[in-house]
Chain A
Amino acid sequence: MLKQMEGSVAVAEAVALARPEVICAYPITPQTHIVEGLGELVKAGKLQNCEYINVESEFAALSVGIGSSSAGARTYTATASQGILYMAEAVYNASGMGLPIVMTVGNRAIGAPINIWNDQTDSMSMRDAGWIQLFCETNQEAVDVHIQAFKIAETLNVPVMVCMDGFILTHAYERIDMPEQAQVDQFLPPFNPRQVLDPAHPVSMGAMVGPEAFTEVRYLAHHRQLQALEVIPKIAAEYNAIVGRDNGGLISTYQTEDAETLIISLGSVIGTIKDVIDDRRAGGEKIGCVAIRSFRPFPIAAIREACSKAKRVVVLEKCFAVGLGGMVASNVRMALATQPLPVYNVIAGLGGRPITQKSLHKLFDQAAADSLEGLHFLDLNHEIIERELERERLEGCSGAVAENILRGIGAVAASKV
């Protein structure tokens, strides 16, 4: 059914269609509307056989989720930013114990300096925690991927993190085609847990494993992620057969067939990139893009194939490993190690800085001319940086960087569009 609705509310409805039995979450911007929406559905009796548990922190939220999933309940939570850091230990435990929890991350920057706006550093901080990570381009995709996430998780006994750009998607109103309950019921059978906590049949879960077997446990976790490379597209096809939308899979491609320049990115910026590609295609440039939907497992073969005819690759990402460069680009370079083509890394949209078509055109001009540096920061304001470096050179006790810069650019500028 077509509706015009907020991304967060759409995700809440989609999660409800998957009939979760326990929802446990702690509010944090920009994810809050999702769990508020689910809370309302439970309270109104529209989502039945579901216990909505209020807790005191993100650590507690996922810890309760670990308990409920262990007990055999289909379990959902959501978080963002500092929230996912606060639950970090439980994030690793959920995957280590093989619990098929689904968690939304409303992607937001990590402080300090505190910043409520969008980038993807939060999800990326947990990229190696053993969860499957799926990034969404649109709210329609977020709806479809959330429903698929439960089936992927329960098929593999691996938790799935569905990542959607905070505010840009979570707070955007757009057209959503919401699947019918009957379709979702047909697609997603009831959760059949591999093991259930049952007082009548006591078991030990979360045992200590020593050097004699720890590597093997980790290897099997990797093995399951490799299986996911097969399972994720298969489940997307099953979903498409029932719901009629091909929103899923490891990657999606746009105008890549004859593309000499390939842009690789993930999340909502793909839409803006597609518009820019159309403009440039009209001018005769052979350019296309690849959206990475599954960042974990990392689809090495799919990316290698998509890039097989390209002359250059630009990896544009909303996250940054200080002291190295982009996390996505590092992974792409690994995938393309045997293909001798330049991979330019562009860091963009950190802390909510808009990624504009104008800036992308300028960037792609530089890429086409192969004049980009290996690591490029989109729209970096060199004046601000020079001013601060100069201050540090001149003053012994120059103060804190963030506050100095804010004073320099003025409070009004900080609150502008």
Chain B
Amino acid sequence: MFQVRIHGRGGQGAVSGAEMLSVAAFLEDKHAQAFPSFGSERMGAPVVAFCRIDNKEIRSREPVLEPDALLVQDPSLFNSVDVFAGLKRDGYLIINTTKTLEQLGIEEAASKLAPGRVWTVPATELAIQHVGRPSPNAGMIAALARACDGVLALDSVIAAIRKKFPGKVGEANVAAAQAAFDSAKATQSSQ
């Protein structure tokens, strides 16, 4: 089973991101379960969403406590939420940022992860450029397809985006996702 936890803020589409990941997995004939951590639905409030992917039926309903991949849609959450909770050494950390880990102040936490596991992607900038809105979710899940090799194909992620957002908005999000896939990069490990 591959478990994903998305941290974002209300309005950033974290819940939709988890939903699209589950649809992408479904399109690959996998079982997937996506659900939000349910809180007050208001713009800017911390939001958490989860997605599990497996080759067999997924029965457990507990929140994702030990994620294989952690998507951080707003790095300001590092200051207020225990984002890293349960992240394993070989788990992936994918951050929506143009800054360095030093600038984000998470160098130490990131250094506990195995080499090649920390990725950054300017998903908000790419969304503004392609979609005209600061909605980083399509870019973030495309970055996951890039970073977590073998979990989901980019084509499936793109097909899921098109299902969620038909028409022009969908194509704009697909463009943002493709750009995010291309520009996501693993940060230099200090180890």
Which A residues are within 8 Å of any B CB, using their own CB? 2, 4, 6, 30, 116-117, 165, 167-168, 171-175, 268-269, 271-272, 274-275, 352, 354-358, 412, 415-417
Contact of B43 with A by CB under 8 A: no
Given A4-B23, A165-B61, A354-B62, 15 more pairs with CB closer than 8 A: A2-B26, A4-B32, A171-B35, A171-B38, A173-B33, A173-B35, A175-B26, A268-B61, A269-B61, A271-B58, A275-B59, A352-B38, A355-B61, A415-B40, A416-B82
Q: Is the CB of A356 within 8 A of B34?
A: no
Q: List 20 A-B contacts (CB under 8 A).
A: A4-B25, A4-B26, A117-B38, A171-B36, A172-B33, A173-B19, A174-B22, A174-B34, A271-B58, A271-B59, A272-B59, A272-B61, A274-B59, A275-B59, A354-B62, A355-B61, A357-B62, A417-B37, A417-B82, A417-B85
* Interface flags, B127-160, vs A, CB<8A=1, else 0: 0000000000000000000000000000000000
Contacts of B26 in A (CB 8 A): 2, 4, 175
Q: Is the CB of B61 within 8 A of A271?
A: yes
For the complex of A and B, 6 pairs with smallest distance between CB atoms? A271-B59, A4-B26, A172-B35, A173-B34, A167-B38, A356-B62
Give residues 58-86 of B contacting A (CB, 8 Å): 58-63, 65, 80-82, 85
Q: Is the CB of A174 within 8 A of B58?
A: yes
* Interface flags, B42-68, vs A, CB<8A=1, else 0: 000110100000000011111101000
CA–CA, A173 to B33, complex, Å? 6
* Interface flags, B8-35, vs A, CB<8A=1, else 0: 0000000000110011011100011111
Across the two chains, which residue of chain B brings its CB closest to A352?
B38
Contacts of B46 in A (CB 8 A): 415
Distance (whole angstroms) from the CB of B78 to the closest CB of chain A: 14
Q: Which of A4, A117, A354 lies in contact with B22, CB distance below 8 A?
A: A4
CA–CA, A174 to B18, complex, Å? 11
Which B residues are within 8 Å of any A CB, using their own CB? 18-19, 22-23, 25-27, 31-40, 45-46, 48, 58-63, 65, 80-82, 85
Contacts of A269 in B (CB 8 A): 61
Contacts of B31 in A (CB 8 A): 174-175
CA–CA, A322 to B166, complex, Å? 50
The CB with the most chain A CB atoms within 10 A, among B26, B45, B60, is that of: B60
Q: Is the CB of A417 within 8 A of B60?
A: no
Q: Is the CB of B63 within 8 A of A417?
A: yes
CA–CA, A4 to B27, complex, Å? 9
Contacts of B81 in A (CB 8 A): 412, 416
Contacts of A167 in B (CB 8 A): 35-36, 38
Across the two chains, which residue of chain A brings its CB closest to B41?
A29
Contacts of B19 in A (CB 8 A): 6, 173
Distance (whole angstroms) from the CB of A274 to the closest CB of chain B: 5
CA–CA, A6 to B33, complex, Å? 10
Contacts of A165 in B (CB 8 A): 61
CA–CA, A417 to B25, complex, Å? 24
Q: Is the CB of A271 within 8 A of B35?
A: no
Across the two chains, which residue of chain B brings its CB closest to A271?
B59
Distance (whole angstroms) from the CB of A251 to the closest CB of chain B: 17
Across the two chains, which residue of chain B brings its CB closest to A165?
B61
Across the two chains, which residue of chain A brings its CB closest to B23?
A4
Q: Is the CB of A415 within 8 A of B39?
A: yes
Q: Which of B25, B36, B63 lies in contact with A354, CB distance below 8 A?
A: B63
Q: Is the CB of B61 within 8 A of A168?
A: yes
Across the two chains, which residue of chain B brings its CB closest to A138?
B59
Contacts of A272 in B (CB 8 A): 59-62
Q: Is the CB of B32 within 8 A of A173?
A: yes
CA–CA, A275 to B33, complex, Å? 15
Contacts of B62 in A (CB 8 A): 272, 354-357
Contacts of B45 in A (CB 8 A): 415
Contacts of A174 in B (CB 8 A): 22, 31-34, 58
Contacts of A356 in B (CB 8 A): 62-63, 65
Distance (whole angstroms) from the CB of A30 to the closest CB of chain B: 7
Distance (whole angstroms) from the CB of B17 to the closest CB of chain A: 11
Distance (whole angstroms) from the CB of A332 to the closest CB of chain B: 22
CA–CA, A275 to B38, complex, Å? 23
CA–CA, A175 to B54, complex, Å? 12
CA–CA, A416 to B139, complex, Å? 25
The CB with the most chain B CB atoms within 10 A, among A354, A415, A417, is that of: A417
CA–CA, A30 to B36, complex, Å? 12
Contacts of A358 in B (CB 8 A): 65
Contacts of B80 in A (CB 8 A): 412
Across the two chains, which residue of chain B brings its CB closest to A349?
B61
CA–CA, A2 to B22, complex, Å? 14
CA–CA, A312 to B160, complex, Å? 47
Q: Which of B32, B40, B59 lies in contact with A175, CB distance below 8 A?
A: B32
CA–CA, A274 to B33, complex, Å? 16
Q: Which of A116, A173, A268, A412 lies in contact with B38, CB distance below 8 A?
A: A116
CA–CA, A168 to B60, complex, Å? 11
Distance (whole angstroms) from the CB of A32 to the closest CB of chain B: 11
Distance (whole angstroms) from the CB of B1 to the closest CB of chain A: 10
CA–CA, A227 to B22, complex, Å? 42
CA–CA, A272 to B65, complex, Å? 13
CA–CA, A357 to B63, complex, Å? 10
Across the two chains, which residue of chain B brings its CB closest to A6?
B19
CA–CA, A116 to B23, complex, Å? 27
CA–CA, A295 to B170, complex, Å? 45
Q: Which of B35, B48, B59 lies in contact with A417, CB distance below 8 A?
A: B48
CA–CA, A271 to B33, complex, Å? 12
